[in-house]
């Protein structure tokens, strides 16, 4: 018989028990045999018989599940109260009556102890892992239910084990192949049903699983995300999850089938020009591997430019606007040649791309000047 047992208030408790009788009393061990559990003292004075197998009503209901003829007095006492922490003695009444000297201390607790979970420390992604959670089961009729959180992490096997001292332990084994999804706290929960009131008591224990893995979920983002004009400051940021943390970042530009390394920091800052236009992706790396992000596009928004073109004319004025969509690397000039007396009111549109400096010339001066408004949607890269 164990010297000490822990019981949960409101639940049952298993008392493993065996006894020996003197040789001269063996013949007197016969049916009917009565088992008694005595509280506080082995003597009549100062003691209380909380259970007697011959009585229908007892202070504590219970059952002797052992075979007294085989000197096995293992018993279950039901719904033990919170204030019943004490020493207990077993007494047999058969052809002889005897209260045994061996005693057990039953410690009644209001809340269950936390379960125990094996610790794995650091494991590499792809490694098989077995986590074992155990919780004392003082009441084998209502053993604790063990569950794992987060749920569905792997295969679970639950068993009720016998201990060398005769007590019971609930055990749950969680088996899985480690991945980055398992990194972090894994919780084992033990729910102990109560005999009184139909309630339960819960206790939990968390274990930190440190899974080492290469970068995952690598992504590239652009700020600001909307279209911008030349000269705007743009930040490209690389985000990734790895254990250990990502130590190295690289940025690459893809243009015309050519891949060029353009940076080696988590955030790449550009003062945007036409030369920066293209696809960009980042690469995150730690000691266990590397991963590329999907590509993001950098491009410029056209800017509206208004100019005034001065031209002498033979007579009259014409306010017809001229529109040109141009991409210019240098200063532009336009020639307006008025060779007829009257110009119509129609607008003139032109899509022009030039990479050189031009001059603006007109016919020989006349008596009047004309004002022309020129509008251009222009991509004008800054100096590099």
Give the DSSP letter string of 319-343.
---EEEEEEESS---------SS--
Q: What integer pLDDT is reported at residue 153 of this predicted model?
A: 87
Q: What integer pLDDT is reported at residue 203 of this predicted model?
A: 97
Does residue 381 carry a pLDDT above 70? Answer: no
User: What's the CATH number of domain 116-213, 2.60.40.10, 1.10.760.10, 2.70.98.10, 3.10.350.10?
Assistant: 2.60.40.10
Q: What integer pLDDT is reported at residue 348 of this predicted model?
A: 39
Q: How is domain 215-298 classified at the CATH fold level?
A: Immunoglobulin-like (2.60.40)
Q: What integer pLDDT is reported at residue 129 of this predicted model?
A: 94
Q: What integer pLDDT is reported at residue 288 of this predicted model?
A: 95
- The mean pLDDT value for 76-91 works out to 96
Does residue 117 carry a pLDDT above 90? Answer: yes
3-state helix, strand, coil in the chain (%, to 5): 5, 55, 45
**For residue 22, what pLDDT band results from cuts at 50, 70 and 90?**
confident
State the chain's mean pLDDT as an integer. Answer: 82
Delimiting residues of CATH 2.60.40.10 domain(s) in the chain:
4-109, 116-213, 215-298
Q: What would the 3-class secondary structure string for 185-252 be?
A: EEEEEEEEECCCCCCEEEEEEEEEEEEEEEEEEEEEEEECCCCECCCCEEEEEEEEEEECCCCEEEEE
Lowest mean pLDDT: which of 46-55, 77-86, 326-335?
Answer: 326-335
Give pTM, 2 decimals.
0.68
Q: What integer pLDDT is reported at residue 303 of this predicted model?
A: 57
**For residue 93, what pLDDT band results from cuts at 50, 70 and 90?**
very high
Half-sphere exposure of 331 (CA within 13 A, CB side): 2
pLDDT tens profile 299-335 = 887 654 443 444 444 444 444 444 444 343 333 333 3
Q: What integer pLDDT is reported at residue 77 of this predicted model?
A: 97
Q: What integer pLDDT is reported at residue 264 of this predicted model?
A: 95
Q: What integer pLDDT is reported at residue 300 of this predicted model?
A: 84
pLDDT tens profile 182-224 = 999 999 999 999 997 779 999 999 999 999 999 999 999 999 9
Class level of CATH domain 4-109: mainly beta
Please name the residue that has the structure tokens 């084998």: 140
Question: 215 or 227: whose pLDDT is higher?
Answer: 215
Q: What integer pLDDT is reported at residue 227 of this predicted model?
A: 82
- The mean pLDDT value for 270-295 works out to 94
Helix, strand or coil, per DSSP, at residue 60: coil
């Amino acid at each position: 018989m164990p010297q000490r047992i822990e019981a949960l208030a409101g639940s049952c408790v298993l008392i493993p028990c065996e006894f020996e009788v003197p040789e001269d009393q063996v013949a007197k061990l016969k049916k009917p045999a009565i088992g008694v559990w005595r509280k506080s003292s082995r003597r009549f004075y100062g003691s209380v018989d909380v259970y007697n197998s011959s009585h229908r009503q007892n202070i504590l209901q219970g059952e002797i599940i052992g075979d007294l003829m085989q000197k096995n007095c293992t018993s279950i006492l039901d719904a033990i109260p919170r204030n019943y922490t004490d020493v207990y003695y077993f007494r047999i009444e058969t052809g002889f009556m005897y209260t045994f000297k061996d005693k057990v201390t039953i410690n009644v607790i209001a809340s269950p102890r936390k379960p125990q979970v094996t610790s794995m420390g650091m494991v590499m992604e792809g490694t098989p892992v077995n986590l074992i959670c155990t919780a004392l089961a003082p009441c084998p009729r209502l053993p604790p239910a063990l569950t794992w959180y987060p749920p569905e992490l792997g295969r679970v096997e639950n068993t009720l084990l016998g201990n060398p001292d005769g007590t019971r332990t609930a055990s749950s084994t969680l088996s899985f192949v480690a991945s980055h999804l398992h990194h972090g706290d894994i919780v084992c929960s033990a729910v102990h049903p109560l005999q009184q009131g139909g309630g339960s008591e819960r206790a939990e224990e968390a274990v930190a699983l440190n899974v080492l893995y290469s970068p995952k979920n690598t992504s590239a983002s652009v700020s600001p995300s909307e279209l911008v004009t030349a000269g705007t400051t743009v930040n490209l940021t690389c985000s990734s999850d790895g254990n250990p943390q990502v130590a190295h970042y690289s940025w690459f530009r893809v243009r015309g089938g050519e891949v060029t390394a353009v940076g080696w920091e988590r955030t790449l800052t550009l003062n945007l020009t036409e030369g920066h236009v293209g696809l960009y992706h980042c690469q995150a790396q730690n000691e266990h591997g590397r991963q590329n992000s999907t590509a993001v596009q950098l491009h410029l928004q056209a800017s509206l430019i208004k100019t005034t073109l001065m031209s002498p004319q033979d007579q009259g004025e014409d306010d017809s606007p001229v529109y040109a969509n141009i991409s210019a690397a240098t200063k532009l000039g336009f020639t307006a040649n008025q060779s007829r007396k009257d110009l119509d009111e129609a607008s003139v549109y032109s899509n022009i791309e030039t990479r050189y400096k031009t001059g603006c010339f007109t016919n020989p001066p006349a008596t009047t000047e004309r004002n022309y408004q020129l509008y251009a949607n222009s991509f004008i890269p800054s100096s590099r």
